[in-house]
Amino acid sequence: MANVQDAPGAQNRPDTAVEIIGLNKWYGEFHVLRDINLTVARGERIVICGPSGGGKSTLLRCINRLEDWQTGRIVVDGIELTDDPRQIVAVRRDVGMVFQHFNLFPHLTVLENCTLAPIWVRRMPKRDAEALAMRYLERVKIPEQAQKYPARLSGGQQQRVAIARALCMSPTIMLFDEPTSALDPEMVKEVLDTMVELATDGITMLVVSHEMGFARQVADRVILMDDGQIVEINEPKAFFERPQHERTRLFLQQVLR
Amino acid sequence: MSTVADASPLYLRRTPARTLPPPTRRAAPIDWVRRNLLSSPANIIATLVCLVFITWIVPPLVRFLLIDATWSGSDRTACLASATNPNPGACWAFVRAWLSFFIYGFYPVAERWRVDLFFIALAFGVVWLLWLSAPRRDIGAVYFFIVLPVVSSMLLRGFPPIGLASVSTTLWGGVLVTIVVATVGMVASLPFGILLALGRRSTMPMVKILSVTFIEFVRGVPLITVLFMASVMLPLFVPERFAPDKLVRAYIGVALFASAYMAEVVRGGLAAIPRGQYEAAQALGLGYWRMMALVILPQALRVTLPNIVNTFVGLFKDTSLVFIVGIFDFLRTIEAARGDQTWASPVTSLTGYVFAALFYFVFCYGMSRYARRIEARLRRRAAVKER
């Protein structure tokens, strides 16, 4: 099985994958993120849940600077995210992201979707990039779709391609932004299975999701976010069985009903 | 108690139904007419109106252009009314006599092979680029955008070191000028238009203001004004020695004008690309230019292809305005020739203009047919087709 930890330089990286210090963000007058502090250890798997509009996705998108913020710091893999585009690109190379709506490139085949960044960002020869892409497509169990255009694939297949595409950059951290919430129910499982399989690999994962079963099975820590704040952060067993906060209890009642 | 199988009555199938072929469509012509032309009272009326219109317009046209037309002759007498042809049609003999002037203008007769060679080289490049399954289209692009401009400039203007006598651009004319101006305009407008469109969407205020000002200014004035400005004002900004000749000034005018329109067309395409595409490209670590070149523009240009071709068609016809700054384009050669006394007849001018119309139509219709085919191909591919 391809090992993501083979990524160059993975050994001498700091033990902290992501460090978020005093993060605040406003959309106009609206305070979306309020004083967020979070340290994610290398290899840790974190699931972030909470009611919609609570700032989960925004927080995740700050980690690869798809969103900027007003005050606070984020350090990813020892690289501080500043306004410097070189730092931003350096972080994005090492951080893979999977989106709610897949965001595959419709004008490229599945294989080309996967090889685009390795060829143009990592400067990998085309042949090697294709071999790499096929390895990951096999891993997400759709190598036979490599020559098709994304529009031909089901939602679940598209999301698995999106995961393979991100993995082709050999990221050390993977961000999942509600990866199953745009899928038909019967396709949720195939994507979750892929993610569970990935989790056994030791890659750092931050997952925004309402899939509590997944959180229980895979997460090292579960976070509840509401109103732009981290309300509760705990190990899954404690989080689900003895929630400390009223809001967590309410949220769990609603989703686990 | 019995199992379902035991209880299943005789009318239940035990094997899956056979797949039947689809019914063959009746394709008899009568049937087609009934279904398509006479399907409803409104349709019948529309069909009748169109038939009346066609019978009114087509026969006289055919008579004038073909049946009563004069195909050969050496001067005006052939095209005048006579006993054999009391009602003369188009004077094609006139077009034949002046054809080489229409194509080359005043380009020296002994050197006209160079123009022919240029046409061949250009056609070769166009086919290479536009024929989508042609081999090595990357080399084709290099040929078209780098080799061809340099070589054809040396060929047409002359290059004394290799024995090609120089030919002043004031002698160029006719189809040659129209094709050259249109090609330069099209080839220049696409990249500049893309840059301007990106500039207009840029987050850098200076770039944005500059792009918006340019686009809005150029779009806000007629092409004639732009041509005048290019031809009168341009020499004021550069030292006299380097002042570009009249034709180059016209190129610049046309290219500027077309770029501004192209910018708006491309902007429309960029706006149609969902934000997720930008985010996915950024998340993969692609920088701005790679994101644009590899992800955004390929999609945006596909969406806008019909509009791009529409702009090209407009540009091709607009080149006929360069006569205003003293360039002898195709339409101008017709204007000049129709005043020729040897061919003076009631139908000479008309024939000249009909010929001009045919020329423009063939090129513009060709462009739009090509665009249709590409569109259909892209749609097929994007929607369902696997490669």
pLDDT, tens only, B26-64: 667 788 888 888 888 999 999 999 999 999 999 999 988
Mutate to test the interface with A, among B284, B294, B303 (most CBs of A within 10 A): B284
C-alpha–C-alpha distance, residues A38 and A19, integer Å: 6
Query: Given this model, what pLDDT does residue B382 score?
Result: 62
Of B279, B281, B284, the CB nearest to A169: B284
CB contact under 8 A, A105 and B277: yes
pTM: 0.81
**CB B382 within 8 Å of CB A149:** yes
Distance from CA of A1 to the nearest CA of B (A): 23
pLDDT for B387 equals 35
Answer whether CATH 1.10.600.10 is correct for domain B172-386. no
B364-368 contacts, C-beta under 8 A, 24 or more apart: B364/B313, B364/B316, B364/B317, B367/B309, B367/B312, B367/B313, B367/B316, B368/B309, B368/B310, B368/B313
Calpha distance B147→B129 (Å, rounded): 14
Check residue B35 and give its pLDDT: 82
In the structure encoding, which two tokens stand for residue B340, read together?
């020729």
Taking the CA of residue A50 and the nearest CA in chain B, the distance in Å comes to 23
For the residues B144-153, what does the mean pLDDT come to?
Answer: 90
State the Cα angle at B33 between B29 and B35, rounded to 5°: 115
What is the per-residue burial (b if ≥16 Cβ within 10 Å, else e) of A118-129? bbbbbebeeeeb
**pLDDT of the residue at A13:** 59
| Nearest residue in B to A91, CA atom | B285
Q: List the A45-49 sheet strands across, edge first.
A: A95-98, A173-177, A204-208, A45-49, A221-226, A229-234
B380 in contact with A, Cβ within 8 Å:
no
Closest CA to B258 of B192, B327, B179, B180: B192
pLDDT tens, B249-296? Answer: 888 899 999 999 999 999 999 999 999 999 999 999 999 999 999 999
B25's tokens: 């469509």
- Which of B276, B285, B294 has the CB atom closest to A89's CB atom? B285
Q: Are strands A45-49 and A221-226 parallel, antiparallel or unpaired?
A: parallel
Closest residue to B285, CB basis, from A104, A147, A169 = A169
Contact status of B384 with chain A (Cβ, < 8 Å): yes
Nearest residue to A193 via CA among A147, A143, A151, A142: A142
Tell whether B385 is within 8 A of chain A (Cβ).
yes
Q: What is the mean pLDDT of residues B212-232?
A: 91
- Provide the pLDDT for residue A9: 44
Residue A61 in contact with residue A99, Cβ under 8 Å? no
The pLDDT score that the predictor gives to residue A230 is: 93
Amino acid at B345: S
In A, which residues are within 8 Å of B282 by CB distance? 64, 66, 92
pLDDT tens per residue across all 257 residues of chain A: 344 444 444 445 568 899 999 999 999 889 999 999 999 999 999 999 998 888 999 999 999 999 999 999 999 998 999 888 888 999 999 999 999 999 999 999 999 999 999 999 999 999 999 999 999 999 999 999 999 999 999 999 999 999 999 999 999 999 999 999 989 988 999 999 999 989 888 899 999 998 999 999 999 999 999 999 999 999 999 999 999 999 999 999 888 76
Does the distance separating the beta carbons of B284 and A121 come in below 8 Å?
yes
Q: Do A152 and B290 touch (CB under 8 A)?
A: no
Mutate to test the interface with B, among A64, A98, A107 (most CBs of B within 10 A): A107
ipTM for this prediction: 0.90
Check residues B387 and B285 and name the one with the higher pLDDT: B285
Six-digit token pair at A43?
A: 């290899």
Bigger pLDDT: B118 vs B383: B118
CB contact under 8 A, B284 and A117: yes
Integer Cα distance of A13 and A172 in angstroms? 10
Spatial separation of the C-alpha atoms in residues B311 and A186, rounded to whole Å:
47
